[in-house]
Amino acid sequence: MAHAHSHRKPPRVGDGALVRRTLIGIVLVIGAVLILAPLVVIFAEAFRRGIAYFGESIAHPDTLHAIRLTVLTALIAVPLNTAFGVAAAWAVTKFDFPGKRLLIVIIEIPFSISPVVAGVAYMFVYGLQGLFGPALQSADMKILFALPGIVLASMFVTAPFVARELIPLMQAQGRDLEEAATSLGASGWRTFFSVTLPNIRWALLYGVVLCNARVMGEFGAVSVVSGNIRGQTNTLPLHVELLYHDYNAVGAFAAASILTVLALVTIVAKVLLERLGAGRASRRPSLAANPSGETKA
């Protein structure tokens, strides 16, 4: 009995039933107050005047334009940031070159800069009094207070999402598979699509989902570069603010409910991708099929 008692593990923080239940209760209360309650209020206010009024609010021309502009911005910014993230992750993890750490720091910059500050910086670069303003004006090209400025601001704040999901994974995978594929005669593109992409697809999709959600919900940087022109340069988050300032609370919450549904869909997609990725994380990639197209003997 003394021998068994000497090998007993020391108690850990939270092993006691009272402590465990108290911690769980605190988390549930805080989660309900800070997260669940606002979600309930959004949908309750959105449907306060009934489904018909909710439909009228969504079908308003300004709201529809804000939705279309938000979707268009995402359709442009997300693929471009996906390509940038894949290229940056490939460069950082598969090659050694001077300035690699600097490149990683540059990728992280949007996470350390306020979106509003980023929007102001774009004003000083592309505005009429900015660095490229006179040249753009002489060429009759409009960046700010138009779609290009909205896309650029959205791309800035979401640039790191895909790269940050891919870099740790690709570093853990190493370069052995790509080097083996190259030694077997596969081209760079064939190596990427046959070896690299299948091994990173879940992390890539996860990064794309997060990037898309942030693009559609971005407010700070877009509010600076768009000009908040009703029915022209207002994305959905900016339109929610305009409706609220117009004392149209139901219309504002109706528009906000669309963003809320997007957030919920993003969470579900995130969980599914995490489960799918976790189920395949332990599977070592195989070179049973020769990436160059030849079958192994």
DSSP SS3 for 12 = coil
Predicted pLDDT of residue 293? 43
- Any bridge partners for residue 295, and if so which? 289
Q: pLDDT-based confidence at 197, cuts 50/70/90?
A: confident
50 has pLDDT over 70: yes
Residues in contact with 235: Cβ distance below 8 Å, sequence separation at least 6, in sequence order = 66, 69, 70, 73, 150, 216, 218, 222, 226
pTM: 0.80
- Please check whether residue 115 is in contact with residue 220, taking contact to mean a CB–CB distance below 8 angstroms: yes
97 has pLDDT over 60: yes
Predicted pLDDT of residue 297? 37
CA–CA distances in Å: residue 293 to residues 187, 276, 289: 11, 28, 8
Name the residue among 261, 239, 234 with its Cα closest to residue 39: 261
Predicted pLDDT of residue 24? 87
Token pair recorded at residue 212: 């898309």
Q: What is the largest CA-CA distance in the chain?
A: 90
279 has pLDDT over 50: no
Assigned CATH class of 50-280? mainly alpha
- Please check whether residue 23 is in contact with residue 14, taking contact to mean a CB–CB distance below 8 angstroms: yes
Q: pLDDT-based confidence at 11, cuts 50/70/90?
A: low
User: With pLDDT > 70 as the criterion, what percentage of the chain qualifies?
Assistant: 88
8 has pLDDT over 70: no
Token pair recorded at residue 50: 């009934």
DSSP SS3 for 164 = helix
pLDDT (tens digit per residue) in 229-239: 888 889 999 99
